[in-house]
Chains A and B, each alone.
Chain A
Amino acid sequence: MKIRMRTIGLIGYLTLLMLPIYWMLNMSLRENNDIMSRLAFYPHHPTINNYVQIFTDPSWYMGYVNSFAYVGINTVISLLVALPAAYAFSRYRFLGDKHLFFWLLTNRMAPAAVFLLPIFQLYSELGLIDTYLAVALAHTLFNVPLAVWILEGFMSGVPREIDETAFIDGYSLPRFFLTVFLPLIRAGVGVTAFFIFMFSWVELLFARTLTITEAKPIAAVMTRTVSASGLDWGLLAAAGILTIVPGALVIYFVRNYIAKGFALGRV
């Protein structure tokens, strides 16, 4: 009986959780005048026209390409610099290590709004505006500290005896790191990559400010269309649903580690 109460409660919560997303999906499968004329709980005349329009119009689908491009570049940069740093924090004490870690942490906590204008000016000076690299670099501001943090949690879970044995066996640090250590924490690397992807994917303040047309992310293309052409709700809903799909796919791959990742590898 107790078990059934729990199941009912959980199903109730999941239903409420999915309802707004379902409503968006429902609207994305209907024509705009159909949406405006009446309230329907499911699409009576489902149409995929909204999706077809997005996939055939470059000003729409390039938004996806742009989003994936800067998220990808950001993930690579963040992982490459965060891996050695996390190893240093988990294995060594060094001058100012605690202060440095705290300083990194403050950047994860810093309001993006504070940095928005100065970063825009800095990147303008460097001629980076409207490139993938600009958004990717700006997102390292919060993603690199996060990556160091999660990776450090995972790395601290690996016994130090493994390092010491390897060094006695004559491994150099880079060789040990690449051939022994990295395979040991590959789940942690995967989870970290997922979180970098996620936070770069959902962030919009930087992504929108630092791009004009060439590198505009899909989520920003959406808002521009909303303000310009008198609201096509169906199209807007379809674009919104398409921004959810990549996240849903990636979650599936890391589902067993996702909770541990959210706990910064420290459960």
Chain B
Amino acid sequence: MQKTFDNRAWFLVLPVVLLVAFNALIPLMTVVNYSVQDIFDSTHRLFVGTDWFKEMLRSPRLHNALWRQLIFSGLVLLIEIPLGVLIALMMSKKSGWKTSLTLVLVALPLLIPWNVIGTIWVVFLRPDIGLLGHFIDSVLGISFDYPTVPIEAWISVMLMEVWHWTPLVVLLAYAGLCAIPDAYYQAARIDGASGWAVFRYIQLPKMRGVLTIAILLRFMDSFLIYTEPFVLTGGGPGDSTTFLSIYLVKIALGEFDVGRAGAFSIIYFLIVLAFSYVFYQALQRVGTGEGK
């Protein structure tokens, strides 16, 4: 059914617009302001035009951080989406205390403050007092020292990320599976369809809507990741786990270089904006049922 056209609806959205504009537009203008000036102190400032942008776009550290970020977000999707779907398929569709308990346990990591997530893994991975660290170090006999070995730092961050956010994919996929009417399965049984065929031709197409949301949410949020790797590795060793947000905070608050940070923020924001647009288009299709 068509929605009615009525511009008075603006009055209903006005509070949201004002509130979000206060938080988003004013700061964004400030960032733009920073990005075109060289600020020495509150009275001495120099207009530098696009110099910061040119410098940041050529900066190898930014390029490296961006590549690192893209690889990280790509790996996140490759691991979390199939794993999440697999686990959702294992969960029972019948309601009962077992299903409730499973849902509560699965959702638990999502409600832990992000720096506590980091802390949990710092503890868990320590060779002297952590269970996993001790297991790798003493039982497997591999000397495990993630704060100094880049590849181990990466594995640790990925492990934490998969542990933390796969539950989101599980919950989404599970919601999608629960929405499939029983009649579909009955028809498949009459046709003698195999388990794989049921998955490929019934469950997967029916999950398309929620999986779109899952992929995009996971991609976007992993693109903004800051707190958990910051607590676990601090972006190190060296720059090896310095993702975009960590790099930005390093420049803005660590080096207090607001010109470069401003330019970087705008570039970062535009990248995110481009992804958001793709997300929005995909979501619109899900909303109108085309994606299903």
The answer to whether A binds B is yes
User: A: which residues have CB within 8 A of B?
Assistant: 2, 6-7, 9-10, 13-14, 16-21, 23-24, 27, 35-36, 39, 41, 77, 80-82, 84-85, 87-89, 91-95, 97, 100-102, 104-107, 109-119, 121-122, 137-138, 140-141, 144-145, 148, 156, 160, 198, 201-205, 217-220, 222-223, 226, 233, 236-237, 240, 243-244, 246-248, 250-252, 255-256, 258-260, 262-264, 266-267
B268 in complex: contacting residue of A106, A114, A243, CB < 8 Å: A114
- By a CB distance below 8 angstroms, the chain B residues around A251 are 103-104, 107-108, 111
Indicate whether B142 reaches chain A with its CB closer than 8 angstroms.
no
CB A261 to nearest CB in B, in angstroms, measures 9
> What's the Cα separation between A66 and B138 when bound, in Å?
42
A109 in complex: contacting residue of B22, B116, B275, CB < 8 Å: B275
How many residues on the B side are at the interface (Cβ–Cβ under 8 A)?
97
> What's the Cα separation between A93 and B4 when bound, in Å?
6
Instruction: Tell me if B26 and A118 are in contact (CB < 8 A).
Output: yes
A205 in complex: contacting residue of B15, B175, B227, CB < 8 Å: B227
- By a CB distance below 8 angstroms, the chain B residues around A77 are 19
> What's the Cα separation between A111 and B113 when bound, in Å?
17
CB B278 to nearest CB in A, in angstroms, measures 11
> What's the Cα separation between A128 and B220 when bound, in Å?
30
Stretch binding the partner chain, chosen from B54-62, B70-78, B119-127: B119-127
> What's the Cα separation between A99 and B23 when bound, in Å?
18
> What's the dominant secondary structure at chain A's contact region?
helix
Report the nearest A residue to B27, measured CB to CB: A118
CB B243 to nearest CB in A, in angstroms, measures 10
> What's the Cα separation between A82 and B178 when bound, in Å?
28
B111 in complex: contacting residue of A7, A111, A138, A244, CB < 8 Å: A244
Instruction: Tell me if A105 and B103 are in contact (CB < 8 A).
Output: no
CB B275 to nearest CB in A, in angstroms, measures 7
Report the nearest A residue to B99, measured CB to CB: A255
Instruction: Tell me if B209 and A17 are in contact (CB < 8 A).
Output: no
Given contacts A18-B105, A20-B124, A118-B28, contact A255 B100 (CB under 8 A): yes
* Complex A-B: 11 CB contacts under 8 Å: A23-B124, A89-B13, A106-B272, A109-B224, A109-B273, A119-B23, A204-B227, A244-B108, A248-B104, A252-B104, A266-B210
